[in-house]
Chain A
Amino acid sequence: MKRLLAAPSFTSWVSVVLMAGLFGAGAASYTGFASTQVVLNLLIDNAFLLVIAVGMSFVILSGGIDLSVGSVLALTTMVAAWLLQVAHWPAELVIAVVLLGGAAFGALQGMVIHVFKLQAFIVTLAGMFLARGLCFLISVDSITIDAPLFVTLSQTQIPLFAGAFLSPGALIAVVVLGAGLWIAHCTAFGRTVYALGGSEASALMMGLAVGRTKVAVYGLSGFCASLAGLLFAFYMLSGYGQHAQGVELDAIAAVVIGGTVLTGGYGYVAGALSGVLVLGLIQTLIAFDGTLSSWWTKIVIGALLFVFCAVQRLLSLKKAAG
């Protein structure tokens, strides 16, 4: 116990415990809540958010922020849909193109941030407008995707046990999370990201590859956003400029709830998972309750968020004092 308390990942553990509490409360109150599929649905429904959050974790760990992810996601669905439905490209090629495109979009933002020494917030905010705007240049209407590969991926259910299933998208998200963990903790790039977040000036003076890492971090985030866009496209089978409005805030919230410090340098990529699950759980709770009016929905989400963050914080404080 003492070792657990002393571990730097304590905050993350608190999240896990609180999440279990939240789930327990749901299971006790609502019939059908305590089923495997409900838990798996958390993963299936939030796969895209998890992927974005993994990319966002790197950005935030490096001391930056990326507001463009939601729009890049939408742009990806739009471009993919257009290429598939209007230009009739093969699905595999489309996937490769949009992934590269997303990474390039992110890297470009990173470059602007690095070369012109601009603030990440403002650059990615402009990137957010740009990507969203480009969607509408392609089409203001939504485009339905019926490419066989996408449809198959959309409707495949990977059976697990006792009738419970997982979607390919969820599986991809879990793989991305694993890769994120590996990159963060086992590669020089990952450690440089942490160093950047700890102190960019120091990292520069330590002779670390600050510029390259920065560009790569935003490139990675852009890649994750477009991968999330693909998952979204599998999930919705459509391209649409209004998809995933405000997802960037959800992703940032998930990362921060997962214990990563917004100013960078402290936290774990794994936290993204707990953050995403907490947000998902809150929504599931509300859907199961099914009596809340639209405004009470917002208030309750806010209140649950508050309770979660406050408890997490108080427990961490207590640990710091003890």
Chain B
Amino acid sequence: MPTPRAPATPLWRHPLARPVAALALLLIVAAVFVPGFLHLEIKDGHLYGSLVDILHRAAPLMLAALGMTLVIATRGIDVSVGAVVAIAGTVGCVLVGSHGLAIAFAAALGAALLCGLWNGLLVSALGLQPIIATLILMVAGRGLAQLLTDGQIITVYEPASFFWLGGGYLLGLPVSLFVVATVGGLTALLMKRTALGLFIQTVGINPVAARLAGVRTAAIVFFVYVYCSLGAGLAGLMISSNIKSADANNAGLLLELDAILAVTLGGGQLSGGKFSLAGSLIGALIIQTLTSTIYAMGVPPQVTMVVKAVVVFAVCISQSSAWSTWRKA
């Protein structure tokens, strides 16, 4: 949405200030406790280091979070993201060897599109509650993907160009980052240069008023689910390109939860309405930084979850407005 050009509020009041601060704090903690965490070097002609890893690993999550942001902005939720990741990755891997890159990508995104259309249909035409509508695909989706592979992990050996999306480098940086930047940029442009952002928020805040004002509420809702699935499809291709295989049962497992978490950490409200694409991207980075830091610090696996929980609590509470008033009092 067009933001006011002359922000009367100081910089630290900016809605993104707190997520950014949380991210910075995490990085500082990591840098202090893990020697060389911030170290970057050039290896094989590209940047190499934990920071690059974080960006690289967060890419699929960022794609999923972008879509989830819009879905949540319309008061919806999409729990089928992980399943769509599995479907798209599988379709891509099954076809890429025999039919070539272009067809495999088109088919994978086509499959994701179908998933989105299905979700959109259930939510906007049939009027099912979003969580149930998408739960159906969440349950069945992995089954469909496994059906394609007969339960096997499909390993891709050829063509090498397939590995470029999830493992290649461009200008010294992972290709996946450029993909996220492009998708994110295009989405932001779509939101700013068209009325889509306005409509999405309107539908999320007050669907009744939106309808009376002449907004095509059903079409908007339909769109966000399709968009979200497409993003998930791209993420699926990225993940399977990265590990050079499709694992229908495990690819993108619980990605939907992380995506929702990313959106909320970035300041999005699950009750719909105002959204921030940049905030969600930062939210995704917070999650990945946390995971990477935990790995790097050598936290024992059985403690990992507790650490994660505590950090999420801390980040949320520090971001709440009640906290600031509380502290002052």
**Chain B, range 250-270, C-beta contacts under 8 Å to A:** 257, 260-261, 264-265, 269-270
**Chain B, range 77-116, C-beta contacts under 8 Å to A:** 79
Inter-chain CA distance A293–B249, complex, in Å, is 14
In contact, A119 and B270 (Cβ under 8 angstroms): yes
A249: which B residues are within 8 A, CB to CB? 79, 135
A125: which B residues are within 8 A, CB to CB? 257, 260-261, 312
Say yes or no: is B161 at the interface (Cβ < 8 Å to chain A): no
Number of A-B contacts (CB under 8 A): 139
Say yes or no: is B144 at the interface (Cβ < 8 Å to chain A): yes
Q: What are 9 sample pairs from A and B whose C-beta atoms fall under 8 A apart?
A: A123-B313, A133-B305, A136-B301, A261-B129, A295-B248, A296-B143, A298-B139, A309-B128, A309-B136
Known contacts A252-B131, A303-B140, A305-B135; is A295 also within 8 Å of B151 by CB? yes
Say yes or no: is B20 at the interface (Cβ < 8 Å to chain A): no
Option from A112, A129, A310 in Cβ contact (under 8 Å) with B126? A310
Question: Nearest 7 A-B pairs (CB), nearest first?
Answer: A302-B140, A298-B143, A133-B305, A133-B306, A130-B309, A295-B146, A129-B309
In contact, B136 and A306 (Cβ under 8 angstroms): yes
Q: Which residue of A lies closest to B133 (CB)?
A: A309
Known contacts A121-B260, A132-B305, A295-B144; is A309 also within 8 Å of B151 by CB? no
Dominant SS at the B interface? helix
Say yes or no: is B132 at the interface (Cβ < 8 Å to chain A): yes
Inter-chain CA distance A263–B79, complex, in Å, is 16
**Chain A positions 11 through 34: 1 when the CB is less than 8 Å from some CB of chain B, otherwise 0:** 000000000000000000000000
Shortest B43–chain A CB gap in Å is 34
Say yes or no: is B42 at the interface (Cβ < 8 Å to chain A): no
Inter-chain CA distance A112–B145, complex, in Å, is 40
**Chain A, range 36-69, C-beta contacts under 8 Å to B:** none
Q: Which residue of A lies closest to B140 (CB)?
A: A302
Say yes or no: is A161 at the interface (Cβ < 8 Å to chain B): no
Shortest A158–chain B CB gap in Å is 33
Option from B257, B260, B305, B320 in Cβ contact (under 8 Å) with A116? B320
Say yes or no: is B244 at the interface (Cβ < 8 Å to chain A): no
In contact, A313 and B136 (Cβ under 8 angstroms): no
In contact, A293 and B151 (Cβ under 8 angstroms): yes
Of the candidates B151, B265, B305, B316, the one having the most CB atoms from chain A within 10 angstroms of its own CB is B305
B261: which A residues are within 8 A, CB to CB? 122, 125
Shortest A233–chain B CB gap in Å is 21
A121: which B residues are within 8 A, CB to CB? 260, 264, 270
